[in-house]
Amino acid sequence: MRKVLLGLVLMMIGIYSVNAVTSLDELQEVNYQEVLSFEKPAGYDSFQGFTITDKYFVAIAIKDNDTNSAIVVYDKTTKQKANLPQNPIEGYNLSHANDLEYNAQTDEIYVVDYQKIHVIDGKTFKEKDSISIPLNPTALAKSNNNYYFYRPREITVYDDALKKVKSFPLNSTLTGQGISVHDNLLYSAHFEIGRVSTYEPDYNGLLAAGSGVVYVYDLDGKLKNTLYFAPGKGELENFEFDGDIPYAFFITTDGKGHIYTPTFKAIKEEISANIDSNDENFLASLSTKNEVLETVTLQNGKFVFSPITYQNPGTYEYTITKYQQEETNALTKTALKEEESLKEEINVDVDVKFDASLDKLVATVNYENGKDTFTHNIASFAAEDEESTDEDVAKNGAKCTIIDGKYYDNEGKVTSKENYLASCDTVENPKTGAGISILLGVALGVLSVILLSIRKRKFYKVK
């Protein structure tokens, strides 16, 4: 994206005018591509105002010194002339029709005509009303129950009752065209004719003839940015929005209308999730509805996935799943099932929008219910490779003892309590009379079996 420094240009050519746009530090050149061009109706001189409704691109053609007007309608999805009973719709006198504004709440199109606004039905394109206004603007926009009117070097704001709210200067030496309000910013389109004229009495030659400029202001009149269209597209007439996507409308000397929209530059965005743990046995996967994109290990209490590239606006949905890393042959089927039931998920979407004021895609990562941290809730459990058998106990010398409520005789076989007492030298049945020695022997036998059991089992420590 090329930056054209106005300050440098001013110094180079030695021109400074109090009437010039002196509050700008730079112009931001934009790269828009043509999506539609269309012929002016036969007998008409040129197009003027342009807007976008819920279904259509709408432009006004004029002739006979602005005394005759026609409305031309194109389907914004198919980019073909709309299938209407009449198209163009003729028989209007909308004056110069420099600017149009679509009111989505009422499905109406407003056409500015000096001290009057023509109200056009958004479906039939028939004029249904007119509104008298207390000033003589050349462009209008409507947002948040306010009208925004443009007159050379000034924006004036009126409420729905047409009572003045405020005004602020718009110091441009260029020819003023249409305005629009979107997302609490005002966009004012201007064109450099390249000579002194009624519309540019203070022409200063800073920009090449044919340049287009869109000033971006907040609604208190503070300049936020200036978008620059290099010469070659025609005369910039309007800058309108369909959702978050801007459309620039140009007319060329042959009378054709041309609609341009931004060329998106890809951006990258990173998705991550947190957990209160540093256990490397924790893993997390990032997936869409159709596939797992990546699986990562826990690093410093965080799962961080590789940045994802986004080329176009849209909402992209993902799921982050946390689970515990398996150890080969470490878990029984029961333990695996238990672990599966304790998996945890976080739903996340990445909202990619085009910010027209900055001329770039912007991504916002949104976590469902604001949750971006996993609960450390994977339960610990002990699991055995296999259950110990009587034979295993006998092989390891567990004789004349009691394990897990089972009695083992002097051969290490499971037996009844009666047989255990009859066959084994116990405190209860001291065959040798060495009671203390017998008790100590039993204790050592039990201890040896416990140690054996520990070696045979795998314990997962509670986190």
CATH number at residue 251: 2.120.10
Would you give the DSSP letter of residue 336? H
In this structure, the answer to whether residues 247 and 295 fall within a common structural domain is: no
Q: Are residues 233 and 357 in the same domain?
A: no
Residue 358: what pLDDT?
Answer: 96
Q: Is residue 273 part of a domain?
A: yes
Residue 53 has pLDDT above 90, yes or no: yes
Least trusted range by pLDDT, from 200-204, 400-404, 457-461: 457-461
For 284, the domain range is: 267-379
Last residue of a domain, one of 355, 379, 403: 379
Mean pLDDT of 430-437: 45
- Asked whether residue 411 is assigned to any structural domain, the reply reads yes
Number of domains, the chain: 3
Structure tokens belonging to residue 174? 């260029």
Percentage of the chain with pLDDT > 90?
Answer: 62
Q: What is the pLDDT of residue 433?
A: 42
7 and 24 in one domain? yes
In this predicted structure, what is the pLDDT of residue 447?
56
Query: Where a domain ends, among 234, 262, 290?
Result: 262
Least reliable range by pLDDT among 47-61, 202-216, 440-454:
440-454
Same domain, 94 and 236: yes
Please check whether residue 343 lies inside any domain of the structure.
Answer: yes
The burial of 54, by beta-carbon neighbours within 10 Å (0-12 exposed, 13-18 middle, 19 or more buried), is given as exposed
Q: Is residue 279 part of a domain?
A: yes
Domain shared by 233 and 276, yes or no:
no
360 and 396 housed in the same domain: no
pLDDT tens column, 416-428: 777 767 777 554 4
Amino acid at 70: A
Shared domain check, 16 and 155:
yes
| pTM (two decimals) | 0.74
Residue 384 domain-assigned (yes or no): no
**Residue 385 placed within a domain:** no
Q: Measured at the alpha carbon of residue 117, what is the angle toward residues 41 and 130, in degrees to the nearest 5?
A: 100
pLDDT at 395 over 80: no
Most confident of 18-22, 144-148, 281-285: 144-148
Distance from C-alpha of 190 to C-alpha of 179, rounded to nearest angstrom: 9
pLDDT in tens, 93-109: 999 999 999 999 999 99
User: Both ends of the chain: CA-CA distance in Å?
Assistant: 51
What single-letter amino acid sits at 295?
Answer: T
Q: Which of 316, 317, 315, 323 is nearest to 285 (CA)?
A: 323
Is residue 361 situated within a structural domain?
yes
What CATH number should be reported for the domain holding residue 280? 2.60.40.3050
172: left (phi over 0), alpha (psi -120 to 50) or beta: beta
Are 313 and 227 contained in the same domain? no
Q: Which of 326, 346, 379 is at the close of a domain?
A: 379
Let me know whether 397 and 372 are in one domain.
no
β-strand pairing of 257-262 with 245-251: antiparallel
Residues 123 and 258 occupy one common structural domain? yes
Between the alpha carbon of residue 346 and those of residues 2, 208, 303, 369, 374, the distances in Å are 40, 53, 12, 10, 8
Average pLDDT over residues 244-260: 96
**How much is the mean pLDDT over the chain?**
82
Question: Residue 397: inside a domain, yes or no?
Answer: yes
Q: Kindly provide the residue ranges of all beta strands, DSSP E only, lying in 305-343, ordered along the sequence.
A: 308-310, 314-324
- Range with the poorest average pLDDT among 30-44, 139-153, 242-256, 433-447: 433-447
Q: What is the mean pLDDT of residues 18-46?
A: 80
